[in-house]
Amino acid sequence: MDRMLVVVCDNETKAYEGKEALLRLDDEGSITVYEYAVLVKHADGTATVKQEDDSGPIGSLVGTSFGSLIGLLGGPAGVAIGAAAGLATGGAADLHNARIGDDFIEDVTKFLLPNKVALVAEIEEDWTTPVDTRMEAIGGSVFRRALSDVKHTIHEENVAAMKADLAQMKAEHAKAHADRKAKLQEKINQLDSKIKAQLQKAKDGREAAERQAQAKARVLEAKAAAAKSKAS
């Protein structure tokens, strides 16, 4: 099962110990690690993503559910990217893109207080004991949530509602007097722009989900090839 994992630790050293433990579990075949990052919450409420090397096999926070989760955990003060990270977060991180519930964010942020550090990862695991055992050994508080299916009904419903408004405005525009036509045309133009933006957002979401699924498939194929090579 694909899951988002957040392990809240007392300091960076513990968080990096947790990251190494995750990678060892991946090497052992107990889990698959798709992406990971270390998020430091500062005393002033800001947050910084730090990395020693890369961000895991998939390698980018941009436009992914993982990147959205990082943005949400950063809180209202936002997230700065560490110089070694080589990553950039999207500006519109939200729950829909993150594919998790707001209660999960609330649970994590109760523990991710100023001066705490979180190991954040997207993983596949069949059972929770291996990860929990390793993370509890370093004193980490473990939170996990299965990823919801990618759904686009929200965008579709929004677009349908706006198109209904647009049709009504155009009908009124056709019958309006000259002084009223200009005001209606301005509203029609604005609504048309919003519809186009909503359609583009839906398209971007579908494409991002497809890219992420393909990247995950390549990770699994590489692991299967490596296991076959070792066996032969």
Q: At what angle do helices 153-175 and 178-231 cross, to 10 degrees?
A: 160
Q: CB of 43 within 8 A of CB of 114?
A: yes
What letter would DSSP give residue 2?
E
Torsion of CA 51, 57, 63, 68, to 10 degrees: -60
Do β-strands 79-81 and 47-50 pair in parallel, antiparallel, or remain unpaired? Answer: parallel
What residue has token string 């694909």? 2
Specify the range with the lowest mean pLDDT, choosing from 4-8, 81-85, 113-117, 175-179.
81-85
For residue range 28-41, list pLDDT tens digits in order.
Answer: 989 999 989 999 99
CA distance 170 to 173: 5
SS (H, E, C) 113-149: CCCCEEEEEEEEECCCHHHHHHHHHCCCEEEEEECCC
For residue range 134-165, list pLDDT tens digits in order.
Answer: 999 999 999 998 876 555 555 676 788 788 88
Q: What pLDDT was estimated at residue 151?
A: 56
Please state, as a whole number, how many other Cβ atoms lie within 10 Å of the Cβ of residue 73.
23
CA-to-CA separations, 36 to 151, 180, 206, 217, in angstroms, rounded: 24, 55, 22, 17
Going by pLDDT thresholds of 50, 70 and 90, the confidence category of residue 3 is confident
